[in-house]
Structure formats: C-alpha cells, structure tokens
Structure 1
C-alpha cells in the first residue's frame, strides 16, 4: 500500500481543475494543504459557490461574517472568477459588509453573481454601474431596497430579484431603466406594499416571470410594464398588485393565475 503511486496528483492541471470544480468551494480550497502541487490549483478555478452549511436556526452573526471573510480571501487570491455565489440567509448582516463584498466583486469583472443575504436595509451601491462584465444577477436580500439615481447595468441580460421590499415608486423605475439590455426578469416574492404607481420600462425584455405567495396587507399597487419585445409573461401566486402590460403585440405565450 505504501508504494502505490498518487495517480491523481500526476494528472495534468486542466484535469485537476475539472475535478476541483465538482467539489463544494470550501473543499476545493482545502485541497491547498495536500502538497506544493495542490497549493495554488484552486486559484485557477472560475466558478465558486459559498453556502453556510449550518441550519438557519443555529446560525450566529460571527459565523456569517466568517463566511464573508472566506469569500474576500478567495477574491484576493483567485486569478479569474467567472461566477460567484454567496448564500447565507439566516442572520441579518451589516450593509457596509455587503457593499465591501460587492466592491471586491466588481474589481474581478465577474459575469454571474448570486447573493442570498439577509440585510436590514440596503441602498444599491453605485459601483454596480462600473460592472460592465455582469450578465447574470440573482439578488435575495430580505430587506427594503433603495435604488439611487444613476444606477446602470450595461450588460445585464438575466436578473432574478427575490424577497425585497421596493422602497418607493422612483426606486423601481431607476432600477429597471438601468437594465439596458435585460432579456429575462424574474420577480420572486417581492413586496410592493410601499408602491402606489410605478413603471418598468425594459425594451429588450423577452421573458418576464412574477411569482408571489406573500399574504400581506398592502394597498392596491399599480405597476405599468412597457416591454415592446416581450415574448413570454407569467404572473402566478397571490398578489394584490395590478400589473398592466402595454405594447404587448409581441407576446406569444402568457400564463396568469392569481
């Protein structure tokens, strides 16, 4: 047994990268302690997903911050990151920590970003406007989301927004008017209770999916959707929001069940 060769370590780097890409991110990084050959292999991976392994009921604030520190170290040492996912929805964290994470992500010019974090209140940082490489964004924040003027997503094509409460009518307009080439939009369990009347204008949008099972007391909000190239529209679940479609001649399939 002691004379058996280490066949895996003798594989070329590109095959080892394929093997590491199949592991959970924490396990892939942990292989750096195996030998000098393995020490920096993980830094050439391009897809990373961090998820807190603890059940939500047992999570504590310092454990969530430990997870964010690990992500920062990864971004500091990695050569190229194409896709990053960070999921820890059990404990509310400081808005500054989220902004710091996003600033680090922007510097890496990541193409796909998935953040599932619980924040008390969040103002979308202006650094997103410098995020020219971002094509896919998933945000689950569990907070009131405020969007300042000037926010732009110049290359964003797929956007999934979950469990946010829109701060006001203007925030909604500013968020989606900045998605210049957006083609697919999913709104999952978003809270429109602070919205009276607003509009979503996305000329390139082709697929719009809205789902909500939130049974909260809210005013009858009205959301006007202007998407001249929309092909598919789905609105299901429980909602008191009036979604009004305009310029709908392009639609070929629709599913409404509220």
Structure 2
C-alpha cells in the first residue's frame, strides 16, 4: 500500500505541463489574449519568461477600458518581448480613435520582425485616417484590416507596398486611386462595407488575382477565376477577359456590362427580393430577362 501511495504522490507532484516543449506551450498560450497569456506564465517559474518569446502575440479581446491604457499596456508588452524571436503573426483589436503613434508602433514592431500575418480590428464611432507606415511590408502575406464605425476609415492614396501579400481582407474602408499595383502576388481579395472616395471608377490592377469579392467596374486581373458580389450596390458589373465564374447575391438583378462577361462558364444568381410575397412589377421581370440575355454564353446557370 505504501508503494502505491508513493506512486500516486509522484504522479501528482510531477509537473508534466512544464515538461512540454516551448513550441507547444506557445501554441496553447496563443489561444488566449496576450494579457491572459502573461498572467498564466506566473503560475510556473519554468513559464516565467515564455510569453516574451511567443511567435504570435494576440492582442485581441484584451479587457482594458480605454485606448490610452491599452496603448500603454501594448507598449509595455512589446518592449518586453524577445526581439530575437521570429514573429509569424500579430492579432490586434482596439476601441477608439487611435493616434498615429499608436498605429506606427504596431506597424514598426510587426514589420521589423518580418511578420507574415497581421489582423487589425478597430471598433470606434469616429472617422479614422491610417498612416502610410501600416501599408508597406516586404514580408506580409496575409492582412486583415477591419474598421467598425459609422463612417469608413480613410486609407492612403499611394499604392500599398506589399510584394509578398497573397490574401487581403478589408472592411469599413474608404478606397481611392491605384492601391494594389505593388501587390504583385495578391491572389485573394475581399472587400466588405467599403466605399470609393474621390474617383468615379476604381481600377484594380492585380495580375495574379484569382478570387475576388468587390463592386468595382474595371478589373485588371487577367488570371481571375472567381468573382463574387454579395449584397452590394453597384452601377455596372464588368469583369476581365476570360473570367469563368460569377456568383451574385442581391435584391435586384445585377446591372451588367454588354462588353464584358462573355467568357463565363458558370453563373450563380440569387435574388433575395423575389422571395417576397409582394407582387412583382413588370419592370423587375424585364430586368431579369435583360440579365439572362447578357449571360446567355454561360454553360451552367443557376437562378434562385
């Protein structure tokens, strides 16, 4: 019996978690925000400095009441991180109108560490202007920039310098000018709740783009394979030569360009308004007929 008790005591006293490799502990800590991760490291002397070498610090969902306190906390954490460690991704959520110094600190840390993935979510009710330093990186491959406010966030007019970028998600953003010409490897582009500022026609110049969600008129993406338009207001829908697939979801038939969209092979149209019990107007029926005529070359066509 004593031997059994000794074995039980040995199992209980053995700290198996602390014996895990640093890479696995980092993975566990990354499931929490950076504040919880730092607090968790206090539980073990073996973990005390583990948070300083995390390759993917997560500043999302940090419960700090105001932006000023959050900025101080973030600066303290960034200063404490081991700058010799390769950082692969950074996630950031914050509330309020951040100043340029705050955003510059984010960009400086992320891009100086050759971060490959960056997600920035800003929750505020005011108008924002992001500084150019956030839109230039030689290493960034994935960028998610979301602005949740009553008005769109303004971005720089000059082209964004992301030569390695392959995936870009933008939400709540005001766009203008030729922004993507330096994103030579961009393949996936998603735009949500955004507007065009200062120009009537917005051109997307991204030669390797293959998956796109947008409302723009002119698209310069010769390798585009899929064009998805989801509940967006649009004056005229056009696509590059050779576009094979179109998916459209909205309340009315899409206004199509007569010159483009001749190469479509597969078309999926879902018109939400036509599930309404309201009596259909003759004008609506004519628009559907015009749409079908413009898409007559498609081999596979779905209309819902």
The question of a shared fold, defined as TM-score above 0.5 by the shorter chain, is answered with: yes
TM superposition score category, shorter chain reference = 0.7 to 0.9
Which structure has the larger Rg over C-alpha atoms?
Answer: 2
Q: Where does residue 89 of structure 2 map in the other structure?
A: 83
Secondary structure at 1:19 match in 2 = helix
Report the alpha carbon displacement of residue 128 of structure 1 after superposing the two structures with TM: 4.1
Cα deviations by residue, 1:94-123 (Å, 9 ceiling, x for unpaired): 123112211221101000000112573324
Q: Quick one: structure 1 residues 124 and 92, their matched pair in 2 at CA, closer, same or farther if it must change by over 3 Å?
A: closer
Equivalent residue, structure 2, for 1:114: 119
Q: 1:158 aligns with which of 162, 167, 172?
A: 167
The aligned counterpart of 2:52 is: 43
Q: What is the SS of the residue equivalent to 1:102? A: helix
Shift of 1:202: 0.9
How much is the aligned-residue C-alpha RMSD, in angstroms?
Answer: 2.9
Which runs of 5 or more residues in structure 2 are unaligned? 1-7, 252-304
Match of 2:225 in 1: 231
Q: 1:74 to 1:140 in 2, by over 3 A?
A: farther
Equivalent residue pairs, number: 237
The TM-score with structure 1 as length reference comes to: 0.78
What TM-score results when the alignment is normalised by the length of structure 2? 0.67
Instruction: Select the structure with the greater relative contact order (CA < 8 A; seq sep ≥ 6).
Output: 1
Partner residue, 2:22: 13
Who is 2:139 aligned against? 133
Q: Measure, in 2, the Cα distance between the counterparts of 1:209 and 1:7.
A: 47
Q: What is the 5 A alignment of 1:189-204?
A: 189-192=193-196, 194-204=198-208
Specify the alignment match of 1:104 in structure 2: 109
Deviations 1:124-181 (A, max 9, x none): 425743x221100001135442424354211000000110122x4x2xx1x1112111
Q: Quickly say closer, same or farther: Cα 1:162–1:67, change in 2 above 3 A.
A: farther
Post-superposition Cα deviations, 1:40-71, rounded to whole Å, max 9, x if no partner, equal: 222333222212445xxx94332442454355
1:187 and 2:191 aligned: yes
Question: 2 CA distance for matches of 1:70 and 1:210?
Answer: 39
Q: Distance in 1 between matches of 2:79 and 2:115?
A: 16
Structure 1 position 82, deviation (Å): 0.4
Q: 1:69 to 1:177 in 2, by over 3 A?
A: same
Of 226, 248, 252, the residue aligned with 1:255 is 248
- Aligned residue number for residue 218 of structure 1: none
Report the 3-state secondary structure (helix = DSSP H, G, I; strand = E; otherwise coil) of the residue aligned with 1:28: helix
Whether the 8 Å CA contact 2:144–2:170 is kept in 1: the answer is: yes
1:215 maps to which residue? none
**Which structure is higher in strand share?**
1
